[in-house]
Amino acid sequence: MINARLEEVINKQINAELYSAYLYLSMSAYFESVNLPGFANWMKVQFEEEQFHGLKFFNYLISRGGRVKLDTIEVPKFEWKNAIEVFEETLEHEKHVTALLNNIAEVAEEEKDRATRNLMIWFIDEQVEEEGNAEKIINELKMIGGEGHGMLMLDREFATRTFVPPTGA
């Protein structure tokens, strides 16, 4: 049975993951509104990943005998100046999520809960990838000035992205 302290931080993380999904869906809608369907697709895949993460915590908490307590999801921003601003916000958001996950890992260590500590290794490794992807895209967008033919090339590339649940997850 999971202890109350870990149950509380994992419940907060479930809410944070669902907010992340909501934020990325809002970003997808923004990209649709500015006629960048590939960028919109990229964000829809992010939406699916965040839902997956939320459900992974949800299922984990239940499997450990904890009680899931869903909370209100904050209304996400829905307007940005351009694609660079969207991905800069994405990077900042992912850094925030990394801090939340590191906090859960610290609580798991303090509570000597090895199962949760092991779960957090997967999530922390995933965050390295999430932050790296956002940084890469920001750099690419800045190289092309966030406009012109380069945007069309990136839009076509992003249109091919699909969500594939991690194996063994």
CATH dotted code for 4-158: 1.20.1260.10
Q: Which residues, 6 or more positions from 3, have their beta carbon under 8 angstroms from its beta carbon?
A: 111, 113
Angle at CA of residue 70, ends 91 and 89, nearest 5°:
10
Q: In whole angstroms, give the CA distance from residue 117 to residue 113.
A: 6
**pTM attached to this predicted model:** 0.95
**Sign, CA torsion 112/6/95/48:** positive
Q: Which residues, 6 or more positions from 39, have their beta carbon under 8 angstroms from its beta carbon?
A: 31, 83, 86, 154, 155, 158
- Alpha carbon separation from 21 to 8, 16, 54, 108 (Å, rounded): 20, 9, 9, 25
Encode pLDDT of 78-120 as tens digits. Answer: 999 999 999 999 999 999 999 999 999 999 999 999 999 999 9
Domains of the chain, residue spans: 4-158
Report pLDDT for 169. Answer: 57
Report pLDDT for 166. Answer: 85
Q: Which residues, 6 or more positions from 45, have their beta carbon under 8 angstroms from its beta carbon?
A: 161, 162, 163
Encode pLDDT of 128-146 as tens digits. Answer: 999 999 999 999 999 999 9
Report pLDDT for 167. Answer: 75
Encode pLDDT of 15-42 as tens digits. Answer: 999 999 999 999 999 999 999 999 999 9
